[in-house]
Structure 1
Amino acid sequence: MSTAMSRTALSRTGMSRTGLSRRGFLLGAASLGAIPILSSCVGSGSGEGPAASGGGATTLTLQSSIQDAGPKAALEKVVGGFTGPQTTLNSVATEQFRAQLSTYLSSATPPDVLAWYAGSVANTYAAEGLLLDVSDLWAPGGACAGFSDALRALSTSSDGKAIFVPTSYYWWSIFYKKSAFAEWGVRPPTTWDDFIALCDDLKARGIHPLTNGIGSTAWMSAGWFDYLNLRINGAEYHRALLAGQHSFEDPQVTAVLEQYARLIPYFHPNQTSWDAQQAVTPMVNNEAAMYLVGAFCVQYFPQDQQDDLDFFSVPTIDPAVPTAEEAPTDGFFAAANSQNPEGAKELLSYLASAPAQQQYITDSGSSNLPTSPDVDTSGFSPLVQKGIQLLNSTAEITQFFNRDSSDALQTTADAALTQFIADPSDIRGVQRQWQQAAQQVFSS
């Protein structure tokens, strides 16, 4: 399968097949807050304990960047139920994890399994020979055999090897509180002009139309860039741009930033001080109205407001452009240098199972969607059911900026977009600097 094919995100057909039913080498327990998960250590074949898993070690390490309280506790609980090799779960701050991921994977004694993202970012590490081939998990009878073809494509490297096990994904949209909209006497817009008019209306009343958190989570600024590019230029152009096939100095990108510039006056001025979680604060207090964010935001709201949340898709700008939505896919890969490769596959199989996915989604309180077609989604919340409908009805699905490109290119976006948001008067200058930085990434 080509690299372009492996970057192709979940198609509408692939989504429906899931039943769709959803970002030095430190292993010291003190520095990482390591959580030892003591399993019963029953091997998969002989009942001889961890040694039955093969490889040069009888234990496993799972490295995770999940920091939000609910999902973090849920993963601990899920891993605690693993009956294979004794597994230690290391929890690492997300940005530290991102910065050190290449170091982790290239170590002579890497973590065996790591929680990260599907798509291009995983394929980059696979191209460097750093990921374990887990194709047998996708073969008939394997843990991922029933997953959709789209998920299989997303989890396959450019040389045709399966290198990822997807366990959940989620949607992005513009979230709002139903009670706040009712109080203000407004409705979700259906066109881009209606959206701009709504923002003008709210701003005139002293309400900040939009919130965001681009302080320590500068990548959040890429959410609006992605969606505006999808609405103006389409998913095909968007993927090609992030693959280096177009220039960030293109007039198509100029058009995106011109629309983005229209939105900047609508954002809460504290967006540059907040992170993604803190950005919900003005919505909680009805000081801001809308937030373009992933469904993970639900857990950021007080429990008594979570049922009040609703969302609408970023409205169409050009009716000729096919609809597209972002649905980042999360899961796990294993290090090629794992000292216990068979044990790593055993853990991956367990994490991919329907019971483990069901438990994680339920216990985390998240709005993630399962990748296993065997998970019963009928009991999921109305909000999640609406998210399922959204992803089933769109023509195209992408991931997110860094997942459709690379962590290195995400850094160029963070710099360019935060500069742009601070001063949108020099769009062409921002584009020129962005392209220069992007060229360095693609030429390295």
Structure 2
Amino acid sequence: MNPSPLSRRRFLLGAASLTSVPLLTSCVGSGSGGGGGGEVSSTITLQSSVQDAGPKAALEQLVAAYAGVGAPVTMNSVATEQFRAQLSTYLSSATPPDVLTWYAGSVANSYAAEGLLLDVSDLWTGDGACAGFSDALRSLSTSADGQAIFVPTSYYWWSIFYKRSAFEKWGIEPPTTWDGFIALCDELKGRGVHPLTNGIGTTPWMASGWFDYLNLRINGAQYHRALLAGERSFTDPEVAAVMEQYARLIPYFHPNQTSWDSQQAVTPMVNDEAAMYLVGAFAMQYFPADQRDDLDFFSVPTIDPSVPSAEEAPTDGYFAAAASDNPDGAKALMSYLASPEVQAQYIAKLAEAGSGSLPTSPDVDTSGFAPVVQKGIELLNSTQELTQFFNRDSSDALQTTADAALTRFLADPTDVPGQLQAWQTAAQQVFSS
């Protein structure tokens, strides 16, 4: 299917036009010396992994416009995978970029542990650009030693999406408990409706969505992060408990999930052949334009009330190199990019490209946002913990082990202990490499 992109009018409040001025480009580096040594450069270097045409153009224009209110910025854009491979080199260079795009989570924390990221705690206090951000975002952006090392500027939410018209036709309501969710799946299946859809064919990482949420609901965000960091084992009884609940869901998935990717998986929902889809807000763009206003969602219900609430919210933003020649300039640029005015412009441009991204600043005017988007903002602002998604909270290499393990499990859940042992063996190879 080829859905038309989400419109700016429908999805987000219109924002001011982006100022277009020439953009400087050059090689990585911002002067001689590191960590404040040598002459401070007046030009700030931004290393960017943003490659999608709309977001890239928006960021280029915003960064170029910064020259009118701050220092000139040299922006270097490289392919995402190249950026990922060279990130360690960028940060450990004697002349690193001052500011880098990336995302919150384990990668940022690991570089902070090596002393490679600039402490930006002052941006989170007093009149700092991030001072009013949610506690969950603050926690997500803080290193193990208590330093703020990240400035989040956009994120999106995961939830169980459904069509209001379909629920009304079937005479059902979104469940509020886990037992109620299972009962609803049973009812739908008995009526010939596939309760759940998913697309794990060429996008096998989609199977991790349910694993993440079940782990968050049963064991909590702290355990989840520890597991994905190699501090706990996939053979733990806590993980077995997750798989026990996951196994309950298998009969409810559309049998074609192994043939579809994440986009194709919306097809049975479009046709009212399937009822619900645990997916990120990015999937809204996959629905026909005349069905997007019909979309709604509910969070994966609580399983253990004693476990703090947590939501998956992949979060993008910026960190700065500890060895930057211009730390004050780096923090000034990040403050600008985190400001509500600039976030509003950037998010509006993302919406034109079909993104479901949300602003992290509570001061962005959201009154014109679509109701479903406002609900997404409320969800993320009210939760106690934010996680990122399996690969962002671990690594792409560990994601590959999850893809293999969960694909095997969904095909045959009869030997969970053996499958978890195989998963742990593969995970150990990743952590030891």
- Fold shared per TM-score above 0.5: yes
After TM superposition, the structure 1 = structure 2 runs for residues 410-421 of structure 1, keeping only pairs within 5 Å, are 410-421=399-410
Q: TM-score, normalised by structure 1?
A: 0.75
Give the aligned partner of residue 60 of structure 1: 45
77, 86, 102: which is aligned to 1:90?
77
Deviation at 1:428, TM superposition (A): 0.9
CA distance in 2 between partners of 1:203 and 1:59 (Å): 58
After TM superposition, the structure 1 = structure 2 runs for residues 25-424 of structure 1, keeping only pairs within 5 Å, are 38-39=22-23, 55=40, 58=43, 60-65=45-50, 67=52, 71=55, 74-83=58-67, 84-88=71-75, 90=77, 92-93=79-80, 98=84, 101-102=87-88, 105-106=91-92, 112-138=98-124, 140-336=126-322, 343-365=329-351, 366-424=355-413
8 Å CA contact 2:339, 2:361 repeated in 1: yes
Deviation at 1:261, TM superposition (A): 1.9
Secondary structure of 2:101's partner? strand
Deviation at 1:62, TM superposition (A): 3.4
8 Å CA contact 1:73, 1:364 repeated in 2: no
Q: Name the aligned partner's letter for residue 412 of structure 1.
A: T
Number of equivalent positions? 395
Deviation at 1:254, TM superposition (A): 1.2
Tell me the percent identity.
Answer: 75
Unaligned runs of 5+ in 2: 1-19, 26-38
Secondary structure of 1:409's partner? helix
Question: Cα distance 1:151–1:364, how it changes in 2: closer, same or farther (>3 A)?
Answer: same
8 Å CA contact 1:38, 1:87 repeated in 2: no
Unaligned runs of 5+ in 1: 1-35, 42-53
Deviation at 1:392, TM superposition (A): 4.6
Deviation at 1:249, TM superposition (A): 0.8
Question: Cα distance 1:382–1:37, how it changes in 2: closer, same or farther (>3 A)?
Answer: same
Q: Name the aligned partner's letter for residue 124 of structure 1.
A: S
How big is each residue's C-alpha offset from its partner over 1:172-208, in whole Å with a ceiling of 9 and x where there is no partner? Answer: 2100111222233333223333323333343455543
How big is each residue's C-alpha offset from its partner over 1:288-308, in whole Å with a ceiling of 9 and x where there is no partner? Answer: 321112223223333332211
Give the aligned partner of residue 426 of structure 1: 415
CA distance in 2 between partners of 1:169 and 1:151 (Å): 10
How big is each residue's C-alpha offset from its partner over 1:256-275, in whole Å with a ceiling of 9 and x where there is no partner? Answer: 11221222232234434444
Question: Cα distance 1:349–1:275, how it changes in 2: closer, same or farther (>3 A)?
Answer: farther
8 Å CA contact 1:57, 1:339 repeated in 2: no
**Greater displacement, 133-142 / 370-379:** 133-142
Secondary structure of 1:186's partner? coil
Q: Name the aligned partner's letter for residue 439 of structure 1.
A: Q
CA distance in 2 between partners of 1:399 and 1:357 (Å): 20
Question: Cα distance 1:216–1:114, how it changes in 2: closer, same or farther (>3 A)?
Answer: farther
Q: Name the aligned partner's letter for residue 420 of structure 1.
A: F
Question: Cα distance 1:272–1:189, how it changes in 2: closer, same or farther (>3 A)?
Answer: same
How big is each residue's C-alpha offset from its partner over 1:297-345, in whole Å with a ceiling of 9 and x where there is no partner? Answer: 2233333322111001112334454443333332112345667655544
How big is each residue's C-alpha offset from its partner over 1:349-379, in whole Å with a ceiling of 9 and x where there is no partner? Answer: 2211111111122332244333223222333
CA distance in 1 between partners of 2:161 and 2:274 (Å): 11
Q: Name the aligned partner's letter for residue 143 of structure 2.
A: S
Question: Cα distance 1:272–1:322, how it changes in 2: closer, same or farther (>3 A)?
Answer: same
CA distance in 2 between partners of 1:324 and 1:144 (Å): 21
Deviation at 1:165, TM superposition (A): 0.9
8 Å CA contact 1:39, 1:82 repeated in 2: no
8 Å CA contact 2:218, 2:307 repeated in 1: yes
8 Å CA contact 1:353, 1:372 repeated in 2: yes
CA distance in 2 between partners of 1:396 and 1:151 (Å): 8
Superposition RMSD in Å: 3.4
Q: Name the aligned partner's letter for residue 416 of structure 2.
A: I
Deviation at 1:37, TM superposition (A): 7.3
Secondary structure of 1:307's partner? helix
CA distance in 1 between partners of 2:90 and 2:246 (Å): 37
